[in-house]
Structure 1
Amino acid sequence: MVKKPAPDATRRSQRSRRAIYEAALALVVEEGYPRTTVEGIAARAGVGKQTIYRWWSSKADVLLEAFLDLGEQAARQAGYEPYSVPDTGDLAADLKAVLRATVDELVDPRFEAPWRALAAEGLVDEQLGREFVAKLLEPQLDLYARRLRAAQAAGAVRPDVDPRIGLELFVSPLAQRWLQRTAPISHAYTDTLVDYALYGLAPR
């Protein structure tokens, strides 16, 4: 009698996590954040509710982790390290490359709908808003700040510049234009933001 191999619990857990991620992102797009529930995510993913609560404490935790995972998957498919800012020694080129990748994500329906849902709900749900900032926004902003500090050390940015204010010169206009849909976003637009931020508006 041939002995069957024992089930791979790790592989089963990964399949369940992936199904939960996909279910959570799909539901927040279809139903909106307020109507998305842990029960609904579990049913859509084909798992028990207790499975979700074993790994996460709330639907917000599920959605934020699912969104982070989506970003990592897309980055690797595109061939670059997720959630990173390169340091080639050319600050303008590095910033333009990252912002171009950001534009590609923001106009991708897989990202746009859940990102808008989470951003909008974060304005009215204080707890979700704090988690949204802490888990999604702050880590990315810190990457920009670190790249600007490296540029300061290399003499490419004035030593008196506050990196956290400096990064707002190109990150904030992009976020505002995308959220408010005041105009299309494109690679040309973010390239221009970097040029304006680094070289100013005065004649040189």
Structure 2
Amino acid sequence: MARITAPDPARRNERSRSAILTAAYELVAEIGFGKVTIEAIATRAGVGKQTIYRWWPSKGAVVFDAFLAANEHEGRIALPDTGDLAADLKTVLRLSSDEMSDPALDRTYRALSSEILNDPVVQAEYRARLLDPLLEVTRDRLRSARETGALAPDTDLDFAVELLYGPLNYRWIHQLGPLTHDHADRLVDATLRALDRPATNGTSAA
């Protein structure tokens, strides 16, 4: 008698989850985040709404997961360490600028940014899975530069990270101009000049 194998719930769940993420990503790309509904995602994925709500609490949460799944990079986030701090930071900011200025991603980025600000669940996921790992590896690279003498021994690494990434995000959020490689290079050069400048403790030369 042929052996009857029971369906594997884990495999079925993984197929459903993959279909949901693909559907969410495609719909956002096609019609924009604002017009996407949980119902539309469920219909495209061939599942019930309750299946989506079993894994995600909101539309923002499922779209964020879909974005990560479609753009995931293999392995841990890492920064190059060639021994040339300026060159390494320019490589990273150029890549960030390219991603943020990609017309195919810009609308999704902006919609997700709103969700991150307004949905504590999405914000926590963003911090844990994207922002905090990026900031940590950047601090690691700056710490290495500090240890080798490329940065001053008292360099505040948290402040250095803000100097590096803050202006890039400011320019993108307010659409103040294109995010070019030249702009990224200027940000790195300005950041390193600022970090190299000795503190004046609020005083100035007479």
TM-score range, shorter chain: 0.7 to 0.9
Counterparts of 1:66 and 1:54, CA distance in 2? 16
1:19-98 superposed matches below 5 A: 19-28=19-28, 30-33=31-34, 36-72=36-72, 75=73, 83-98=77-92
- Contact 1:25 1:114 (C-alpha < 8 Å) held by counterparts: no
Q: CA deviation at 1:36?
A: 3.6
- Contact 1:20 1:45 (C-alpha < 8 Å) held by counterparts: yes
- Contact 1:149 1:163 (C-alpha < 8 Å) held by counterparts: yes
Letter in 1 for 2:84: D
- Contact 1:28 1:117 (C-alpha < 8 Å) held by counterparts: no
Counterparts of 1:69 and 1:185, CA distance in 2? 25
Unaligned residue ranges in structure 1 (runs of 5+): none
The partner residue of 2:95 within 96, 101, 105 is 101
Counterparts of 2:125 and 2:6, CA distance in 1? 39
Q: CA deviation at 1:109?
A: 3.1
Counterparts of 2:196 and 2:144, CA distance in 1? 25
Sequence identity of aligned pairs in percent? 47
1:132-143 superposed matches below 5 A: 132-143=126-137
Work out which of the two has the higher radius of gyration on C-alpha atoms and give 1 or 2. Answer: 2
- Contact 2:64 2:122 (C-alpha < 8 Å) held by counterparts: no
Flag the 1:111–1:10 CA change in 2: closer, same or farther, 3 A.
Answer: farther
Number of aligned residue pairs: 196
Q: CA RMSD in A?
A: 3.2
- Contact 2:85 2:145 (C-alpha < 8 Å) held by counterparts: yes
Flag the 1:31–1:199 CA change in 2: closer, same or farther, 3 A.
Answer: closer
- Contact 1:121 1:128 (C-alpha < 8 Å) held by counterparts: yes
Counterparts of 1:110 and 1:171, CA distance in 2? 22
Letter in 2 for 1:66: A
- Contact 2:79 2:137 (C-alpha < 8 Å) held by counterparts: yes
Counterparts of 2:82 and 2:195, CA distance in 1? 25
Instruction: Name the structure 2 match of 1:191.
Output: 185
SS at match of 1:139: helix
Instruction: Name the structure 2 match of 1:149.
Output: 143
Counterparts of 2:13 and 2:80, CA distance in 1? 33
Flag the 1:185–1:31 CA change in 2: closer, same or farther, 3 A.
Answer: closer
Counterparts of 2:92 and 2:126, CA distance in 1? 21
Counterparts of 1:142 and 1:201, CA distance in 2? 18
